[in-house]
Amino acid sequence: MTPRNIHRHTLANGLRLVTVPLHDTQAVTVFVFAKVGSRYERRSLNGVSHFIEHLMFKGTRRRPNTLAISKLLDGVGASYNAFTSKDWTGYYVKINHEHTDLALDILSDMLGHSKFDSQELERERGVIIEEINMYDDNPLMSIEDLFESTVFGSVHPLGWNIAGPRHVIRRVSRASMIGYRDRYYHAENMWVVAAGQLPKNLDAMVNRHFRKFPRRPTTPHFRPYRIPAATKTVRIKHKELEQVQVGLGTRAYGYTDRRLPALNLLGVVLGGNMSSRLFIQVRERRGLAYSVHTSVNPYEDTGTFMIQAGLEKTKLDGALTVMLEELKRIKQTKVGPAELKRAKEFLRGKMILDLEDSDSLASWYGRQALFHKKIEDPEEAMARIGRVTSKEIQALAKTLFRPSNMRLAVIGPFKQTAPLAKLIRRV
């Protein structure tokens, strides 16, 4: 992995452009980021960031409906999608580099001129409610939401679901959505990232399509996370299941925190792959779970560390006991040199594979541009991981895995939280 010749440029209206050349491909990915997500919402608007993402594909003045947009992109074999997170919303088109101008034209048209047609909006309410139902009916998909609501509590929007509650989706007005869109979808709150085989006149193309976006400096409704006075240690979503889903972990660190490389390595050692400690101890040696893995999820100013497991309902206590024993062990004994080296090589190899494609590169550099003062090349990120010591990982584990920090979310046929709260205090 070698450093790339990254170019940054700011248009006259304040919109930022980041270009990432990749010469051994014929594809280009154009990714537009808006720094807005569900954490910017009020309760009465919870779910609106995601709703707006859906409506951006429903037609513009020039392309009056979804079919008009999709036919153009499908006609050249493009792939395209959008994502809403708690911190950002992104829209991308991956396309043959010869059609880069078409990708820029469609994205700028969607983001700048979507009609938010009243009939389409009413139809989409039902679509989003069905999406919410799908997540609710699938414990594997919804355990992360339950876990984060346990970690962050119900007061701060980081503890709310990105898709929002059904009653908001049913009632939120078109005027409220347009007002919210206009607050955040403007030049000074947007980034265009292009990665892949880049046309020589790309800067001029971007300027032509995005220069008319308004320059509208506003104070975003960003609420820094503050630890609440008290949150529930355990949350249970009662559901009659044979295989239950478990999320065990703690609040952790944001994108720019200097401890994030050590946290990523801690995650690999504990549950990042099929040779990790939890996979071997929980699944392979004891057969207590079908799946068990860790995830590190950073946000702008905080984050989460979670152990997720799917297991038979009668094995919950046994599996949690083994997980907690492994957390104790990594606090008490430093990770050995060979295990640490394997974890570092795993992260390096994974990053190299992940960043082979233009869409992954665009996503990486887009998040760098959103949350970092200086864009860090993947090689620089790997160098920071390479400098992490066993002592730092052990210190991090001691800081994170305190009994008072631990939170547990469970989806399954249980009702009593007290026994589980008592159990996780043993860490």
Catalytic positions are 53
- How far is 330 from 328, CA to CA, in rounded Å? 6
Would residue 287 be called left, alpha or beta, if left means φ above 0 and alpha means ψ between -120 and 50 degrees? left
Yes or no: say if 18 and 206 are a contact pair by the CB < 8 Å rule: no
The partner residues of 19 in beta bridges, in order of sequence, read 7, 194
**Both tokens assigned to 286:** 């004891």
**Both tokens assigned to 421:** 């709260």
Yes or no: say if 40 and 49 are a contact pair by the CB < 8 Å rule: yes
Half-sphere exposure of 355 (CA within 13 A, CB side): 25
**Rg (alpha carbons) of the chain, rounded to whole number:** 23
Secondary structure (H, E, C), 89-104:
EEEEEEEEHHHHHHHH
**Centroid of chain to Cα 114:** 25
190-196/16-21 β-pairing: parallel
Residue 56 CB partners (closer than 8 Å, separation 6+): 82, 91, 110, 111, 114
Tokens 């979503």: give the residue: 237
Burial class (CB in 10 A: 0-12, 13-18, 19+), 13: middle
